[in-house]
Chains A and B, each alone.
Chain A
């Protein structure tokens, strides 16, 4: 919701995580029609968010910093935009040890990297424009502070 000054605030309600997007969207639409006469602000955005957390707290494997990021670039076809995925605190084991990218490149033949590529493609992930990901073509280490 946005008021006259441009400031924004949200009305947050919960729904069972078993509810479908269509069910939640229909409920949100019904609510919005009732909500708007109750406020001087206007509707500018709606978000439906599904959240999952681990059953019990988990710990980091070691002291690798979160800023030690792996950047994975995927192609989506010859005429559509590539897309990048960041993975924080990447493991040493996937960093290339052979030149010319030793120490900075990510080994695309590593079995865990291949499993990640397979998972990305199988999951139906796309670039921001909805073009399906086809292949991982380059990945390297980057510090993002």
Chain B
């Protein structure tokens, strides 16, 4: 089992026309291209494209993707609609959050909160707040501590409903 990448990462430049409709140009860049180099290339291409298109350039994204070549088998009964929500304090006094799909029952308290003293949760907090790692809020502020954590459920789409119902 390993995460493997394609030969290239993708650069997607986004446009919006006067009606609000959106479009994009997609480029490929060698996967080993440094992000700083890819960003410089994206800036140069955006400027060149701006001269070719009447639409406004809304920005761009550079995506490095890896896919698991041999995925493990999910736990029986696991559902991504069941979320573990983790809310974190950040260094600038704000909060940030992410959710873990199909959260395991063993870290839940009886009323649906997540046991913050559970060893698995403590390990997660240690990694997320580790200053040697890069995790931050959307505004770039360091994540400093776990504030609250709880279970919630999202609505299932039709495709997510059991096929043998």
By the criterion CB–CB under 8 Å, are A45 and B66 in contact?
yes
Given contacts A1-B80, A52-B42, contact A66 B74 (CB under 8 A): no
By the criterion CB–CB under 8 Å, are A50 and B62 in contact?
yes
Tell me if A127 is interfacial: C-beta within 8 Å of chain B. Answer: yes
By the criterion CB–CB under 8 Å, are A87 and B79 in contact?
no
Interface of B, helix, strand, loop or mixed by DSSP: mixed
Residue of A nearest to B130 (CB): A30
Tell me if B145 is interfacial: C-beta within 8 Å of chain A. Answer: no
**Chain B residues, CB < 8 A from A4:** 74-79
Interface residues of B, count at CB 8 A: 97
Q: How far is the CB of A134 from chain B (nearest CB, A)?
A: 14
Within 8 A of B (CB), among A102-145: 112-113, 115-116, 118-120, 122-130
By the criterion CB–CB under 8 Å, are B28 and A69 in contact?
no
Within 8 A of B (CB), among A19-67: 19-21, 23-27, 30-31, 34-35, 37-54, 58-67
**Chain B residues, CB < 8 A from A26:** 133
By the criterion CB–CB under 8 Å, are B8 and A62 in contact?
no
Name A112's contact: one of B52, B66, B102 (CB within 8 Å): B52
By the criterion CB–CB under 8 Å, are B127 and A34 in contact?
yes
Give the complex CA separation of A127 and B134 in angstroms: 31
Tell me if B124 is interfacial: C-beta within 8 Å of chain A. Answer: yes
Within 8 A of A (CB), among B23-46: 23-31, 33-45
Contact with A along B44-74 (1 / 0, CB 8 A): 1101110111111111111111111001111
Given contacts A3-B79, A130-B31, contact A42 B36 (CB under 8 A): no
Give the complex CA separation of A25 and B38 in angstroms: 16
B residues apposed to A, CB below 8 Å:
3, 6-8, 11, 15-19, 21-31, 33-45, 47-49, 51-68, 71-81, 83-84, 96, 98-104, 107, 120-121, 123-124, 126-128, 130, 133-138, 140, 157, 159-160, 162-163
A-B contact pairs, 15 of them (CB 8 A): A1-B100, A1-B101, A4-B75, A5-B79, A31-B133, A35-B100, A40-B79, A45-B68, A47-B64, A48-B63, A116-B45, A124-B33, A124-B37, A128-B7, A130-B31
A residues apposed to B, CB below 8 Å:
1-5, 7-17, 19-21, 23-27, 30-31, 34-35, 37-54, 58-67, 69-70, 83, 85-91, 94, 112-113, 115-116, 118-120, 122-130
